[in-house]
Amino acid sequence: MIIIMKSGATKEQVTTVIDRIKDIGLDVQINRGKEQVVLGLLGDTRNVQDIAFRSYEGVDTTIRITNTYKLTSREFHPQDTVVDVDGVKIGDGSFTTMAGPCSVEGLEQIRETAQIAKEGGAKILRGGAFKPRTSPYAFQGLEEEGLKYLRQAADEFGLKVITEVMDENHIDLVARYSDILQIGARNMQNFKLLSAVGQTGKPIGLKRGISGTIDEWLNAAEYVAVSGKSPVIFIERGIRTFESATRNTFDLSAVPLIKKMSHFPIIVDPSHGTGVWDLVPPMARAGVAAGADGMIVEIHPDPENAWSDGQQSLNEKTYHQMMHEIQVLNTAMQEITSLEELTVRG
């Protein structure tokens, strides 16, 4: 951590800051430049709020050099973490597809969807039983009944299950039916929930918050990582920007960036990332090419009559066509990565 004093800071102001640094048990390196004094803090600054020093007289700004997400960081864990979902691997170089409806609407609907998902090559079935909705008057999900249908349909077609847990009190319930616990975008910084799901040992699918920075996302993963034994799967699902032609702005650069900064795998969600079904296949392809470890995608046997998110769901035909495209591109990506190391300049 570095503290930059203002150009007009007095000796006394500098001394006050130095004393405070020593008070909290750190050493300090003092650099007197022509215009400003710059203080370097030595020691473990992970628990020190850099911003707190900004309230001191004479301090211009502070800069945090060391990140605060040790267990999530690739720095201390250089090898990729491969998440094993009861035999299905995520992060091992393959491209894993999770597919299913936005909402579980009934047993027949989810069975039909599971069959389509499986035939297209998905390994994991998605589907919402508890639905967070902007309006209190909108459909809120089938709850436990939905979880049962989801598990039954997945088992029938040899798929694993991912579904969202919205509430600390539902963790045990959801964990009985689901192989991966998903944390939705609205809960990316629900820290109690993060700590609690981290204790289940199940893999956690951590969606990026609608306005979550990369740094906040990595710190949210750290709440899972410190709390227990659960590995994290990052899910890029688009961020909120001024652009309204798409539902969100799908930030695909997050894929190589997270891979650089963390050892946990990252998958993409082109359905929420774009919000428009005919943009889903090209963005799914782009996800493969950017190096994602998989995707989660919304499909429905009859999108026009879906109870939610029909406008961004693929039907059987378009899903199967997309999965074929994914396969062709994935083969090309395998060829690239088998021949070469990760691109390094120098």
Q: Give, as ranges, the residues between 90 and 129 that touch a second copy (CB under 8 A).
A: none
**Residue type for 308, please?**
S
| Cβ proximity to a second copy, 79 vs 343, nearer residue | 343
Stretch that binds a second copy, among 68-76, 92-100, 155-163, 199-207 (CB under 8 A): 68-76
Applying CB under 8 A, does 77 fall inside the site for a second copy? Answer: no
Smallest distance, Å, CB 10 to a second copy?
A: 12
15: contact with a second copy by CB under 8 A:
no
Pair 211, 254: CB distance under 8 Å = no
Minimal distance, residue 97 CB to a second copy, in Å:
16
Distance from C-alpha of 157 to C-alpha of 273, rounded to nearest angstrom? 28
Candidates 3, 4, 142, 174; binder of a second copy (CB under 8 A) is 4
Residue 11 vs 34, nearer CB to a second copy: 34
Burial class (CB in 10 A: 0-12, 13-18, 19+), 165: buried
Q: Does 10 bind a second copy (CB under 8 A)?
A: no
**Binder among 10, 15, 199, 331 for a second copy (CB under 8 A):** 331
Under rule CB under 8 A, residue 79 binds a second copy? no
Q: Is there binding between residue 250 and a second copy (CB under 8 A)?
A: yes
DSSP string, 41-100: EES--TTS-GGGGGGSTTEEEEE--S-S-TTTBSTT--SPPPEEETTEEESSSS-EEEEE
**Whole-number minimum distance, CB 87 to a second copy, in Å?**
28
C-alpha torsion angle, residues 269, 303, 182, 179 (rounded to 10): -110
Q: Of 107-115, 146-154, 156-164, 270-278, which part binds a second copy (CB under 8 A)? A: 270-278
Residue 251 tokens read as 């930030």
CB of 86 to a second copy, least distance (A): 28
Residue with tokens 């102001």: 13
One-letter amino acid for residue 10 of the chain: T
- Per CB under 8 A, the list member of 19, 145, 155, 336 interacting with a second copy is 336
* DSSP per-residue string spanning 165-232: ---GGGHHHHHHH-SEEEEPGGGTT-HHHHHHHHTS-S-EEEEPPTT--HHHHHHHHHHHHHHSS--E
Q: Which stretch binds a second copy (CB under 8 A): 87-95, 121-129, 171-179, 288-296?
A: 288-296
Pair of tokens at residue 53? 């020093």
In the complex, least distance from residue 197 CB atom to a second copy, rounded to whole angstroms:
13
Tell me the pairing of strands 160-164 and 180-183.
parallel
Three-state DSSP state, 299: strand
Under rule CB under 8 A, residue 161 binds a second copy: no
Residue type, 204: I
What amino acid occupies position 11? K
Nearer residue to a second copy within complex by CB, 85 or 104: 104
Question: Quick check: 286 binds a second copy (CB under 8 A)?
Answer: yes
Q: Residue for token digits 């579980």?
A: 104
Which SS3 state, helix, strand or coil, does residue 271 take?
A: helix
Query: What's the min distance (Å) between Cβ of 319 and a second copy?
Result: 9
**Smallest gap, in angstroms, from Cβ of residue 286 to a second copy?**
4
Binding to a second copy in span 163-222, by CB under 8 A: 166-169, 186-187, 189-192, 195, 210-211, 213-216, 219, 222
Q: How far is the CB of 31 from a second copy (least distance, A)?
A: 5
The reply to whether 281 sits near a second copy by the rule CB under 8 A is yes
Interface characters, 38-67, with a second copy (x: CB under 8 A): x-x-xx--xx-x-xx-xxxx--x--x-xx-
